[in-house]
Chain A
Amino acid sequence: MSDETGNLSIDFLVGFTIFLIAFIWVASMISGIMVGLQSSHIDYDAVAYRTGVILAEDPGWPASPPWEFYGDGQKYEISRFGFATSKDSPGILSQDKLNRFFCSSFIYPDDYQSRAIFGDFPYQFNISVIDVETRKGQSVGGILPDGYGYIRRLVKIKGSSNASIGLAYIIAHKYNNTAIPSDLNVTHHEFSILINNTKLQTQMRNPTYQIDPSREQIMINITDLRSTIVPGYNSPSISNYSKLVNISLTSINVYKWDGGALSMVRTFNTPYIDGNSSVTAPPCIVSDNISLVINPRVFDIMQAGYSQVYFNLTFDLKTGIPPKSVNSSFLNNTFSKPFDYNYDPANVTQPRLRDAVVEVAVW
């Protein structure tokens, strides 16, 4: 017959199985007692650090032409946010980038998740930038809960440069038509502004202090136009006369110096006239001031990032009905030099660095 030695009975088997299952369960429970954190919680500080580095030390992508000048319709072409002015200047943030980042056209959290936080896990976050001088801050994201991962970066914000051309400046630089024989001989005026990118790039190489119109927005304000109409404007009878004159900005032409020749490339149709909140395309009537806000896209479209560019404003002065041309000296630098947007603080308010703090909280 068969030998029964070495065989186990079913009762024993069932009992043994139940015992083993219980044993394995207890063994796995013991190792669970000793460790605290869940895997998604442990990540918060690391994700906050990574986002802090991306925002404070990287210019974003695309960097040139800069992502902050893409319109709302093109926001899907922005693949990464970043505040730094350039790759060579980490920690120096550009004001334009900050303004665009906190613009409400980006939706929290989706737009920011795919461009600053990255990863598949849907973290909640709060990104804020506080200006230390003014103690004013901007932030995007949720309210901070009790437990969150956190990083704080110290940075400097590089302000934008701008130029203001007012009456005193116009007189000091003789930007009125002073051709002999008569000051009041001309009805058509041209005012020329030079943006010499070649010199701007070579005179100051450090991107922290450089004025780079192909990467930052620049602004030129021309004010006190009415007071330049006739010289001696303080005299009451003459100033009454000047009130009746219509200053007509006929065009703003953009010329580029290319290979030894100056050629007109395009017209600039987006000046802000008289402090209006929206642009008015020339030809238009100007009361007293004009603001040119020049976007890097202008230079990018012309491929003039390294060339000399001239903005020529042409004015016609007319009065009465039917309109008759008026002779005046007005704003005219045909016989003097173009206004040079350069590193001279007397001409242009230079970009200023101010301290700020970038904080990223993730939970």
Chain B
Amino acid sequence: MVNDEGQLYTIEGVAAALIMLLTAYLIVGATSMYTPGDAHISDMQLEVLGSDALTMMDIPPNGTVTASPLQQIIENDSYGGGQFRVMFMNYTNVSGYGPKHDIQFSANYTYRVPADATLMSVNINSSRYLTGGEHAIRVTKWVIVNKKLPPDTGVLGRRAVLVEVLLWRD
């Protein structure tokens, strides 16, 4: 007649089912939330801003003038540095409705010395002296200039230089 022999299977079955269901619920709830933070966002935003600023400086103001402001800055060492600083700071520190930044920079241009195939760097300008503790990112721009690059003593001709700017937030 009625005995309790089969009930062991039922209880065990129910217990096993509960364990599995509970574990599955915990796991589904646990894995979907954990996404690590993105620490490089501010670097990316700064790099985009610096790249944009250099690109804007390399656009001639209208169709008849062929030299862009950046080209003129490099071709003219005497006033170029000051003009670079004014233009670049205007571009990077402009603000719309968003946050205001305090961005510092250090700019130079690098060119090749044909005689011994080395590279030389000329400082354009900087807003602060680099101490080494800044978390800086680098943006670059290629410019073709009509300039005699020392120690070259040959004919004036076109050369390509790489403008490099280190940017950091104060």
Contacts and interface: CB of A to CB of B under 8 A. Distances in A.
Indicate whether A and B are direct neighbours in the complex (CB within 8 Å): yes
A162 B8 CA distance: 92
A21 B19 contact: yes
Nearest to A37: B37
A353 B59 contact: yes
A230 B38 CA distance: 75
Contacts of A21: 19, 22
A209 B94 contact: no
B63 A130 contact: no
Interface in A37-55: 37-39, 42, 45-46, 49, 52
A36 B56 CA distance: 38
B62 A209 contact: yes
Interface in B84-125: 91, 94-99
B155 interface: no
A86 B35 CA distance: 38
Contacts of A32: 30, 33-34
Nearest to B99: A150
A155 B95 CA distance: 13
Interface string A209-231: 11000000000000000000000
A211 to B, nearest CB: 9
B23 interface: yes
Nearest to B49: A152
Nearest to A209: B63
B77 interface: no
Contacts of A154: 49, 52-53, 55-56, 91, 94
Interface stretch (A9-17, A170-178, A299-307): A9-17
Interface string B56-86: 1001011100000000000000000000000
A153 B62 contact: no
Interface in A330-358: 343, 350, 352-353, 355, 357
A359 B36 CA distance: 26
A13 B99 contact: no
A35 interface: yes
* Size class of the contact patch on chain B: 35 or more
B26 A28 contact: yes
A3 to B, nearest CB: 17
Interface string A107-148: 000000000000000000010111010000101000010000
Contact of B30 (A28, A343, A350): A28
Contacts of A52: 48
Contact of A353 (B11, B61, B91, B94): B61
Nearest to B53: A154
B15 interface: yes
Nearest to B23: A24
A39 B38 contact: no
A91 interface: yes
A91 B49 CA distance: 12
Given A31-B34, A139-B97, A153 B52 contact: yes
Interface of B: 8, 11-12, 15, 18-19, 22-23, 26-27, 29-30, 32-38, 41, 44-45, 48-49, 52-53, 55-56, 59, 61-63, 91, 94-99
Interface of A: 10, 13-14, 17, 20-21, 24-25, 28, 31-32, 35-39, 42, 45-46, 49, 52, 91-92, 126, 128-130, 132, 137, 139, 144, 149-156, 204, 206, 208-210, 343, 350, 352-353, 355, 357, 359, 361
Given A153-B52, A353-B59, 9 more contacts: A28-B30, A42-B37, A45-B41, A91-B56, A128-B96, A137-B97, A152-B45, A152-B96, A210-B63
27 contacts: A17-B15, A17-B18, A28-B30, A32-B33, A35-B35, A35-B36, A37-B35, A39-B32, A39-B33, A49-B44, A52-B48, A91-B56, A137-B96, A137-B97, A144-B97, A152-B48, A152-B49, A154-B52, A154-B94, A155-B56, A209-B62, A209-B63, A350-B62, A350-B63, A359-B96, A359-B97, A359-B98
